[in-house]
Copies of this chain bind each other. A is one copy, B any other.
Amino acid sequence: MDDRKLEVLRAIVEDYVSTQEPVGSKAVAQRHTLGVSAATVRNDMAYLEEAGYIQQPHTSAGRIPTAKGYRLFVDRLGKIKPLSAAERRAVHRFLSEAIDLDDVVTRTVRLLAQLTHQVAVVQYPSLNRSSVRHLELVSLTPTRLMLVMITDTGRVEQRYVELPAELSEDDVLELRRLANEQLQGKPLADAPRAIADLVDLVRPELHATASALARVLLETVVARTEERVVVAGAANLTRAGNFFAGSMRPILEALEEEVVLMQLLGRADSNALLTVRIGDENHLDDFRETTVVTAGYGPGSVVGHMGVLGPTRMDYPGTIAAVRAVARYVSEILEQNR
């Protein structure tokens, strides 16, 4: 593959992204200083089309990149353009004003949406990789407790516990003490065993109650691997030419399905710093025209993913830079709470 052919592809991608219209040979020849004539560009275009990097919407129209074309662009041509110093400062300031973990996540997702003008998705720090900092039991009614679990990533989980029998305040305190002794400091991955032991530690009269509690605890740390995800910037879907009305519906629906969102974020290879999935690389029919850019974040190791989602025809260098920068800053913030 010729060097100049690559330049032609880059020109087509860049122009198409900015104008949203098929780009013709003449435009390429004069807007980008390739030093060749339109006719030459035409020959290269014919080659690129043959090779599957670009295509014509219809005869006698300009060319637009295919998913394969974008892929090549991202892999070999896109020099990511870092954020400006001012932008970086703004990101930093905005994130460091967060008042709790919820707020960190909320601010992050808004920031991403605003920087990239796309739909942003942020996953809460995964429970699996954190450990228990504190358990709190509060009685709501004589036969109903609320269990609150706080993890060292600052996440708070709450659940109701239905009790088989009435429970005195003293009993609540005892259960709380025991549960904390058993679980404090334990990584969630190791928690199930400790929870199982819990039942044996209590007085026989409390057995039934303790096992109800244990069941809920178990659900909290294990079954509820259904991770929480937040979304922002849905309005960006309506940006001129981002998506035609018809294809918006399924995307809006997907944004309310945690399963789909997790799939989009989670399929990311955890090792990679940053993943770009273009069009059908998402393996989801509704996202055939959609690109997802994701990055892992976390203090040291990856505890969650964040990303943005937009039309395949997006500003890759800018988007990639933004996602990477935000992921980095969020990781820093989390690091400070270790």
Given contacts A100-B158, A146-B150, contact A141 B235 (CB under 8 A): no
Name the residue on B nearest A156 (C-beta).
Answer: B158
> Which residues of B lie under 8 Å from residue A256 when comparing CB positions?
232-235
Q: Decide if B238 touches A252 in the complex (CB within 8 Å).
A: yes
Give the copy number.
2
Query: Interface code A140-181, partner B: CB below 8 Å = 1, 0 otherwise?
Result: 110010101010101010111000000000000000000000
A-B contact pairs, 8 of them (CB 8 A): A100-B160, A133-B138, A136-B150, A140-B154, A144-B337, A148-B150, A234-B252, A235-B256
A255: interface (CB < 8 Å): yes
Query: Interface code A229-248, partner B: CB below 8 Å = 1, 0 otherwise?
Result: 00011110110000001001
Name the residue on B nearest A158 (C-beta).
Answer: B100
A26: interface (CB < 8 Å): no
A residues near B (Cβ < 8 Å) are: 98-102, 133-134, 136, 138, 140-141, 144, 146, 148, 150, 152, 154, 156, 158-160, 219, 232-235, 237-238, 245, 248-249, 252-253, 255-256, 336-338
A305 and B256 alpha carbons, distance in the complex (Å): 22
A252 and B255 alpha carbons, distance in the complex (Å): 13
Q: Decide if A146 touches B154 in the complex (CB within 8 Å).
A: yes
> Which residues of B lie under 8 Å from residue A136 when comparing CB positions?
134, 136, 148, 150
A136 and B154 alpha carbons, distance in the complex (Å): 13
Q: Decide if B138 touches A134 in the complex (CB within 8 Å).
A: yes
Please give the distance in Å from A119's CB to the nearest CB on chain B: 10
Please give the distance in Å from A188's CB to the nearest CB on chain B: 16
Please give the distance in Å from A110's CB to the nearest CB on chain B: 8
